Amino acid sequence: SYLHQQADAIGYPVLIKAAAGGGGKGMRLVEKSEDFIDLLASCKREAISSFGDDHVLVEKYITKPRHIEIQVFGDTHGNVVYLFERDCSVQRRHQKVLEEAPAPGMTSERRAAMGKAAVDAAKAVGYVGAGTVEFIANQDGSFYFMEMNTRLQVEHPVTEMITGLDLVEWQLRVAAGEKLPLAQEQLQLRGHALEARIYAEDPAKGFLPSTGRLVHLAPPAESLNVRVDTGVEEGDEISPHYDPMIAKLIVWDINRDRALARMLQALAEYRVVGVANNIEFLSRLTASPAFAGADLDTGLIEREKDYLFPADPVVPEQAWLVAALGELLREAERSAESARRGSDPLSPWHASDGWRINATARRELMFRHGETQKTVIVAYRPDGYRLTVDGHTVQARGRLNPRGLLRVELDGTRSDATVIVAGEKRHVFFHGRSWQLSCIDPLLHTGEGGGAEGGLLAPMPGKVIALVAAEGATVEKGAPLLILEAMKMEHTITAPAAGTVKTFRFAVGDQVGDGAELVDFEAATA
């Protein structure tokens, strides 16, 4: 095709982009010529689905670029100013994840040059209102115009934080015919701001969107330094029909290092239960040596994947103990409530203190995380409990507060924790980390259930948009079998091993649920 010829002439890597695209959708990176045709078809499918237009363009791909954008504002009197820059280099799926203002390492001379280029672009089209001129910048500071977004962007709060201005107010004033409130020389930059996008997605599964009900949603407390912009509340559904963003978390402080510390603290206080989310990933990203050291480019997440995507971590002993203590404190609270409602509040049958004649009550609580199962042995004490896990015993006591908050004391060390109950799940938040444990009832426990043997399951709710393999075909491990689309993103289901595609359970256009069996697949015998 003509585009393929032009891509070969430009030289790889190249980027295929939907002409009507935006928000990182409708983009495919092509590393070598033989991949071009397949990726072009994929890009056109996403473009027609997302934008109703499958026209695409091809451009040279800069290998270690920074994404720096300039906030501009124009009025109806011919005035245009720039409100400094934002660095939005940290991205996944070509969509921004962490943004900050000002851009680290930006000199005043380069800021003035980029600001002038942005203002000139806005003036050239008689622009009125808020807009963003986006640039791709090389590591040496040279920069290239990419596009202009004719609106107020998701990341505008970081600009508001460093300028002390309300950009929505400016929009209303300009729309009412007023002049811009300030001239260029009156604009001042103070401190440093960061924004993290809180998404309902699973970073460990390629950032696949997650759907479900927000069983528990507790953002950090807002202040002059911490801001949370959101459109959802606890109990709301995250559906497959819209972008999976839950909120924007914005922090400000007097310099970048302090803003990073502020962001880490705020992320440690964020509690989300009911959908997979990227909060722990954002904490690792913020603390990563590359980001903390401002070694920024759009490939940072891929470059630092060993740090950002560690192997399944071992659940620490304290998490099992906190889960057990939460169970015991909830039991005690239920017993106390039962006594209050009963006809004889002083009846000993309401007690849950494990009292025995001349003996110590002992019981076991069982929890599971993935393939790991632990038993916590409980001995009741007059002032709390003695908990033993893996042969190590601690003295434990605590207080249960509303919304799953626990005041925990383990061997005299006091901490705050949260345990949220959702069915058999116990979501434990402790020391800035979280773990999802299952509480096992030994009377009901019959062992692990297995998935459908020989079946390939949908990793998310979505629509089948292409059957790539043919029924009856013999394929190699990793061969694409079918393509799902959810939240305007494509996901390819591949063969788990060499084998035969027996039958597809769904046709193109069918909607499938999370965990639906998609393909009957027979692995080849060795």
Alpha-carbon distance of 419 to 436, in angstroms, equals 10
Q: Quote the distance between the C-alpha of residue 44 and its chain's center.
A: 26
> What's the start-to-end Cα distance of the chain, in Å?
42
197 is catalytic: no
What is the CA angle 56-92-463, rounded to 5? Answer: 65
- 115 SS3 class: helix
Collapsing DSSP to helix, strand or coil, 183 comes out as coil
Residue 459 φ/ψ, nearest 5 degrees:
-80, -5
Cα–Cα distance between 156 and 9 in angstroms, integer?
38
Could you tell me the sign of the dihedral formed by the alpha carbons of 119, 121, 125, 127, in that order? negative
Q: How many CB atoms lie within 10 A of CB 160?
A: 21
Q: Are 263 and 270 in contact (CB under 8 A)?
A: no
Residue 375 CB partners (closer than 8 Å, separation 6+):
364, 365, 366, 389
Euclidean distance between CA atoms 387 and 8, whole angstroms? 66
Q: What does residue 20 show for φ and ψ, rounded to 5 degrees?
A: -100, 15
What string of DSSP letters covers 491-521? Answer: EEEE-SSSEEEEEESS-TT-EE-TT-EEEEE
Handedness of CA 273, 274, 278, 284 (dihedral sign): positive
Which residues lie below 8 Å from residue 35, measured CB to CB, with a gap of 6+? Answer: none
Residue 288 neighbours by CB under 8 Å, 6+ apart: 304, 307, 308
CA 15/CA 252 separation, integer angstroms: 35
Residue type, 72: V
For residue 507, give Cα distances in angstroms to 470, 510, 514: 12, 6, 16
Neighbouring C-beta atoms of residue 281, cutoff 10 Å: 22
Question: DSSP secondary-structure letter at 403?
Answer: G
Instruction: Give the pairing type, strands 384-389 and 392-400.
Output: antiparallel
DSSP-assigned letter for residue 450: -
Q: Given the residues 111, 151, 190, 403, select the one marked as catalytic.
A: 151
Q: Which residues are catalytic?
A: 151
